[in-house]
């Protein structure tokens, strides 16, 4: 489908979904975003829903300004996936053992590694830039100075919530490894610090929503945020790369196939800021729950822990600022999902998937999410499907 245009204040809202299906609070969030004087465009993906700071599934293009709360606290959160040389028949009969091995290799929830990761000991991991990356920690906001050891120990860990590690099978029976995580606690600490700074600035006091407080170009506050933002985005990318290395090794050991080969890893952020040019303007594009889908760009759009996911290739639609959805999108809050569903519902909706089936993950039940098939059908002008995946193992924090 093409987009539907809804009137905004300074720019129209381009929506790749039926506006009538979007909850009122989310629509108000979107309208509030269009009041910002620096905004040059707003695109809304089909997985849109109410978010903290800004609407999830929104692509906000601004000139000389960026909103830290719109980026959110999980800076650089995103996906990685890789196709293996194996097919479904090569998987072990006992998938619970495979899940246990993955959980032993990758700390989940609030877990961390006892010792920081040594990239020299990671088979096949490219450590290019690693030392330089960590040396820049001393340049970050002083408020996170005491967090370096924890940040190092959390490198290569999953987290909780909607983060996951999955073994999937595509329509041709090929096995894929896929995971979802971000910048862990250090990203959260940096985000919360800068959100607080932005809210205190005089030029943000008259905004219709204090969550839309921005930093503007050529100010020390903007320079400090950009420094920390791009570092945290790099942390998130490294975090997924380290986890993928652990994942591949755990997978190789459990399937007992020394000849397992892995293709090129696909990796994409979906909570981040990028410097991009549209209609001759250099803009700061914030993707809040959206992936870049420039022409030929590979991306990953997951469903839920009991439904399919998609490997996609971008079509380069400039009307959407070269973007696409980051997933199915929630249709129900976590608290509402817990009130409505129980463990038995979770068991039924994740039948055939080796995963947690307890009260601790009921808020991630598939029914709490929109139909991934419908979401994909609404963005055929944004991406083309390369592979359709279905998980057989899902690790949650």
**pLDDT at residue 397, as a whole number:** 83
The H-or-E segment that residue 13 falls in is strand 13-15
Q: What does the pLDDT look like over 191-233, one tens digit per residue?
A: 999 999 999 999 999 999 999 999 999 999 999 999 999 999 9
Share of the chain above pLDDT 70, in %: 99
Q: What does the pLDDT look like over 337-359, one tens digit per residue?
A: 999 999 999 999 999 999 999 99
The vertex-205 CA angle with 202 and 209, nearest 5°, equals 145
Q: What would the mean pLDDT of 165-173 be, rounded to a whole number?
A: 98
Q: What CA–CA distance (Å, rounded) separates 68 from 315? A: 28
Could you tell me the pLDDT band of residue 258, with boundaries at 50, 70 and 90? low
Q: Is 275 left (phi over 0), alpha (psi -120 to 50) or beta?
A: beta
Q: What CA–CA distance (Å, rounded) separates 144 from 359? A: 34
To the question of pTM greater than 0.75 for the whole model, the response is yes
User: Residues with catalytic annotation?
Assistant: 326
For 108-148, the DSSP string reads: -TT---SS---GGGSTT---TTHHHHHHGGGGS-GGGGGGH
Q: What CA–CA distance (Å, rounded) separates 356 from 250? A: 19
**pLDDT at residue 65, as a whole number:** 98
User: First-to-last CA distance in the chain?
Assistant: 36
Number of C-beta neighbours around residue 6 at 10 A: 17
Q: What would the mean pLDDT of 88-110 be, rounded to a whole number?
A: 95
The answer to whether 297 and 384 have CB atoms below 8 angstroms apart is no
């Amino acid at each position: 489908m093409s987009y539907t245009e809804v009137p905004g204040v300074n720019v129209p809202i381009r929506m790749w979904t039926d506006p009538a299906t979007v909850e009122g609070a989310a629509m108000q969030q979107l309208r509030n975003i269009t009041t910002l004087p620096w905004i040059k465009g707003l695109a809304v993906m089909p997985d849109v829903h109410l978010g903290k700071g800004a609407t999830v599934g929104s692509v906000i293009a601004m000139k000389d300004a960026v909103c830290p709360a719109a980026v959110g606290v999980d800076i650089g959160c995103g996906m990685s996936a890789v196709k293996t040389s194996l097919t479904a028949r090569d998987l072990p009969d006992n998938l619970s053992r495979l899940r246990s091995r993955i959980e032993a290799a990758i700390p989940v929830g609030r877990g961390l590694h006892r010792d920081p990761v040594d990239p020299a000991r990671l088979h096949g991991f490219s450590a290019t830039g690693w030392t330089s990356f960590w040396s820049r920690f001393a340049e970050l906001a002083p408020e996170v100075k005491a967090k370096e050891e924890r940040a190092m120990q959390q490198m290569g860990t999953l987290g909780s919530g909607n983060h996951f590690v999955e073994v999937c099978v595509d329509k041709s029976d090929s096995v894929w490894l896929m995971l979802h995580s971000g910048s862990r606690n250090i990203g959260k600490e940096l985000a919360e610090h800068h959100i607080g700074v932005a809210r205190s600035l005089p030029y943000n006091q008259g905004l219709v929503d204090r969550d839309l407080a921005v930093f503007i170009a050529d100010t020390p506050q903007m320079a400090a945020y950009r420094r920390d933002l791009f570092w945290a985005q790099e942390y998130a990318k490294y975090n997924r790369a380290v986890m993928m290395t652990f994942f591949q090794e755990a997978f190789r050991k459990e399937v007992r196939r020394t000849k397992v080969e892995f293709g090129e890893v696909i990796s994409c952020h979906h909570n981040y800021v990028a410097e991009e040019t549209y209609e001759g303007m250099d803009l700061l594009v914030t993707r809040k729950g959206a992936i870049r889908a420039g022409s030929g760009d590979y991306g990953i759009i997951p469903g839920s822990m009991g439904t399919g996911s998609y490997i996609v290739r971008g079509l380069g639609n400039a009307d959407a600022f070269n973007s696409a959805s980051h997933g199915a999108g929630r249709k129900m809050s976590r608290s509402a999902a817990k009130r409505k569903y129980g463990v038995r519902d979770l068991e039924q909706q994740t039948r055939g998937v080796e995963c947690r089936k307890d009260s601790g993950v009921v808020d991630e039940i598939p029914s709490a999410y929109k139909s991934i098939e419908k979401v994909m059908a609404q963005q055929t002008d944004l991406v083309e499907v390369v592979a359709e995946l279905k998980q057989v193992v899902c690790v949650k924090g």
